[in-house]
Amino acid sequence: MKTFSFTITCFLFFAFQAIAQYTPFFPEELVVTANTLNLREAPDKNSNKVASLQKGSVVQYLEAWNNGQWVQSDTTDPDSPYAPWIKVNYQGKTGYVFGAYVTGTTGLYHEGDFFFNPDPLPSLNWYGLYRRDSFADELRPIIVRLEEETNEFYGEKIRVLKTNQKEESKFIIGSLKPMKTGYAGPLGQFEVRDMFLSGDLAPGNTVSIHPGGDMNTIDTTMKPSYILTATGCARMENNEYLYVRVTDYQLTLLDYSTQPPYRQDLTPWVKTESEEMNPSVRITWYGDLDMDGKPDAILNDCPYEMGCRDALFLSSKARPGEALRKVCEHFWPGD
């Protein structure tokens, strides 16, 4: 758990301006959190209304206006929220919604996350990932709440994410669709680095991920196992600062069960916002969260000048030709 972490749900509203060719991440499905939300022809609150969306309506993401730039919903009101305008599809109708009033249909959270706005938690199904025993994780249904606590760093009371469980979860999932509960991974009391000496995905490192298997049940099914491998060139920059520069970084998923081995390029999901920044990527968890018999994973990277994120990758959301697909992010300033 990060000491000063906070979540803006699965739908990450970046607090940074995108630069160069960096493209912010947006989930493929979004759910409306406002009681009603206007779908408009253009990214402007005065644009013609295409439809009125009710709370809980699910829309399909198409693109972000102006590369996800944050703007105020009402420039005449200094208290109006900031967020990007998002082009979406809803039941065959296309238009723009203001990002402050939608969130992803799947969200990644951590206990102790800070919430700085007065909005309630999204109306989702809530689950926590816990250690069941030494070599097993399990997914449990939980109840979550926001509780005010005095924070010395901010000098005020901050709303903090809590659960109804005695133990602390490894992470929390909010999902619009109900999820299966029970065995969800092989780590248990261990972390990835305990199994592989390091979970870092720096150039030259490899990490194996697999869904595991519940030893309390009889399961002789052969399940896929993947290799995450990182490549790139690291050299000392010959200037007054003398720092190591990593170039041509590539993160690849390999499946050796096929001939030739299957490859998926995961590099776009962990790209830094500036080409001058070195990639910092590691795997923090793997298992079978969606319980489809294939590996899922959480990758941690720091793509911003000030800020890092966890990203959840699910096999059940993969498109044809993919093994994994990113479904949501959890962001905090710093690491």
Do 167 and 294 belong to one domain?
Answer: yes
Confidence (pLDDT) at 20: 39
- What CA–CA distance (Å, rounded) separates 312 from 310? 7
pLDDT at 165: 97
Q: How far apart are CA 262 and CA 256, in angstroms?
A: 7
Residue 23 lies in a domain: no
Are residues 65 and 194 located together in one domain of the fold?
Answer: no
Q: Which ranges of the chain would DSSP assign to H, the alpha helix?
A: 192-196
Q: What's the whole-number mean pLDDT along residues 266-284? A: 92
How many domains are contained in the chain? 2
Q: Which of 61-70, 138-147, 239-248 has the highest mean pLDDT?
A: 138-147
**Which pLDDT score is estimated for 94?**
98
Shared-domain flag, residues 68 and 155? no
Domain boundary among 73, 104, 135: 104
Weakest mean pLDDT among 182-191, 237-246, 304-313, 317-326 = 237-246
pLDDT of residue 327: 97
Whether pLDDT at 128 is above 50: yes
Residues 120 and 199 in one domain: yes
User: At 69, which CATH number?
Assistant: 2.30.30.40
Whether residue 17 lies inside any domain: the answer is no
Domain-ending residue, one of 65, 85, 104: 104
Assess whether 152 and 295 both reside in one domain: yes
Residue 277 has pLDDT above 80, yes or no: yes
Please tell me whether residues 188 and 76 are part of one structural domain.
no
Does residue 26 register a pLDDT over 60?
yes
pLDDT of residue 108: 97
- Reported as a single tens digit per residue, the pLDDT across 191-238 is 998 877 789 999 999 999 999 998 888 776 789 999 999 999 988 877
pLDDT of residue 239: 67
**pLDDT at residue 9 greater than cutoff 60:** no
Looking at 47, 71, 104, the residue that finishes a domain is 104
DSSP 269: G
pLDDT average, residue stretch 265-279: 91
Long-range contacts of 262-267 (CB under 8 A, 24+ apart): 262/323, 264/321, 264/322, 264/323, 264/324, 266/228, 266/299, 266/324
CA distance 306 to 304: 5
Instruction: Judge whether 117 lies within some domain.
Output: yes
The confidence band for 22, taking pLDDT boundaries of 50, 70 and 90, is: low
Q: Which domain holds residue 81?
A: 29-104
Residues 194 and 326 in one domain: yes
Task: Say yes or no: 150 and 169 in one domain.
Answer: yes
Q: What is the pLDDT of residue 44?
A: 94
pLDDT at 18 over 70: no
Residue 154 sits in the same domain as residue 57: no
CB atoms near residue 34 (< 10 Å)? 16
Task: Return the DSSP state at 10.
Answer: S
Q: What is the mean pLDDT of the chain?
A: 89
Determine, yes or no, domain membership for 4.
no
| pLDDT tens digits for range 65-99 | 998 998 998 888 888 899 999 999 999 999 999 99
Is residue 5 a part of any domain in this protein? no
- Predicted confidence at residue 333, as pLDDT, reads 61
Residue 16 lies in a domain: no
Distance CA 43, CA 73 (A): 9
Residues 131 and 95 in one domain: no
21 part of a folded domain: no
Asked if 180 and 45 sit in the same domain, the reply is no
Does 34 share its domain with 118? no
Task: Please report whether residue 262 resides in a domain.
Answer: yes
pTM as predicted: 0.89
